[in-house]
Amino acid sequence: MSNVVRFDKIKPAAQCRYDGISLGEVMLRFNPDDVPTERATAMRVFQGGGETNVACGLAYTFGLRAAVVTALVDDEVGRSIRNQLRTAGVDTGRIIWFNTASDGSHFSTDGKGGLMNGINFTYNGKGVIPSSTCYYRAHTAVRELRCGDVDWAALFGKDGVRAFNTGGIYTLISPTSADLAIEAVQAANANGTFVAADLNYRSKVEPDKEKARKINRRIAPYLGFLVGNDSDMHDALGYETKVAKKAGFDEWLAAYQQTVRQVAKDFPNLSLIGTQWRGATSADTIDWGAALYNVDADTFHVAPVRREVPILDRTGGGDSFTSGVLAALLKGKNLDTAVQWGAAHGVLVQETPGDITMVEEKLVIAECKRALGGGGVKAVR
């Protein structure tokens, strides 16, 4: 697409009301923490969603003006989610609310759960026991959104948005979600907004990979920044990366470079492609890296690999990587800094409970310096 904005042409902040807007599903997440969900008697509560986590990172960690476009049922669960988004600094004024009055209006449901706010139960795993997530999202309000429900012209044109992101969870979540996402990215492009999407393939959302590929190939021509690791590139777009499953970072990167160069050739609208890399040795310990490809310059920017990092919660690494990269771009940083911020923010979310980090930018910068210097972690006294 000739009008897709490239990463070095993001609009100035003074021209826009928002630095970042995220379109996606947001859920209430229950964590049993130290035992599998079926044995839990107490749980910790968070909000989170693959696409909306990016807005939270932009707002809370990097101090940028971010909002979410989503839908919630106006009940106690929906208001809990909204309140948590507000705590993260996100503008919730773009949420579409479904009332529970059954009044026959377009955005109305009953009070019996005919439509609901999505919830999930996420067990972090331990040692050789893998993490596990159980979803309740079949009748969520956000699945009902369709073309025409959001005034994109007013958002991108009148208010102005510097960067917009959505992803492969939202685009596959319902029969109408892909069309709404495509309507959004078309409007974003028409108004000079930089567009990003994380492929983020989830078999529990769409088990038919061929269907997922058809939808993602429809939206890919409207993107400036594509986020996806080698498995996402295969499952969500159909590109095979020929590398051993347990390959180390250097071997993986060599193979991944070939894949993304082919993706960029097939979708010349892309100016950036990148991902975090995770080498999981157990549910508690990972190796962590990241790579960012500048399509126009044919150069790769790579973060230092963090080895044998003990983690607390493996959810949200890709979302925090995306928000770190976008934040750096929105603040005028170069691509070396962008991949460092993405990698650091991505590993920090796994050191903190929940889908988002809720840490300040200075901690991201400190983690970049620590990793680049090869140093350890000092106590702050």
**Residue extents of the structural domains in the chain:** 7-24+51-95+146-373
Q: Extract the tokens encoding 24.
A: 């996606």
Q: What is the pTM of this model?
A: 0.96
Give the closest residue to 81 by CA, choosing from 56, 114, 106: 56
Q: Are 354 and 48 in contact (CB under 8 A)?
A: yes
Q: Mention the CATH class of domain 7-24+51-95+146-373.
A: alpha beta
- The single-letter DSSP state of residue 59 is I
Residue 379 is predicted with a pLDDT of: 39
| Long-range residue pairs from 371-377, CB within 8 A, at least 24 positions apart, any chain | 371/303, 371/304, 371/306, 371/340, 371/343, 371/344, 372/304, 372/340, 374/304
Q: Are 165 and 131 in contact (CB under 8 A)?
A: no
pLDDT of 276 strictly over 50: yes
Q: Are 101 and 56 in contact (CB under 8 A)?
A: no
pLDDT tens, position by position, 129-165: 989 999 999 999 999 999 999 999 999 999 999 999 9
> Residue 346, SS3?
helix
Q: Kindly tell me the burial class for residue 73, based on how many C-beta atoms sit within 10 Å of its own C-beta (0-12, 13-18, 19 or more).
A: buried
Phi-psi region of 211 (alpha: psi -120 to 50; beta: other; left: phi over 0): alpha
pLDDT tens, position by position, 200-251: 999 999 999 999 999 999 999 999 999 999 999 999 999 999 999 889 999 9
What does the alpha-carbon distance between residue 67 and residue 364 come to, in Å, rounded to a whole number? 22
Give the closest residue to 121 by CA, choosing from 133, 130, 131: 133
Residue 34 is predicted with a pLDDT of: 85
Q: Are 166 and 193 in contact (CB under 8 A)?
A: no
Residue 2 is predicted with a pLDDT of: 67
Q: Name the CA radius of gyration of the chain, rounded.
A: 20
Mean pLDDT value across the chain: 95
Please compute the mean of the pLDDT values over residues 343-371 and round it to a whole number.
97
Residue 7 is predicted with a pLDDT of: 98
pLDDT tens, position by position, 83-96: 999 999 999 999 99
Residue 98 is predicted with a pLDDT of: 98
Q: Are 10 and 155 in contact (CB under 8 A)?
A: no
Confidence of residue 169 (pLDDT cuts 50, 70, 90): very high
pLDDT of 376 strictly over 60: no
Residue 375 is predicted with a pLDDT of: 63
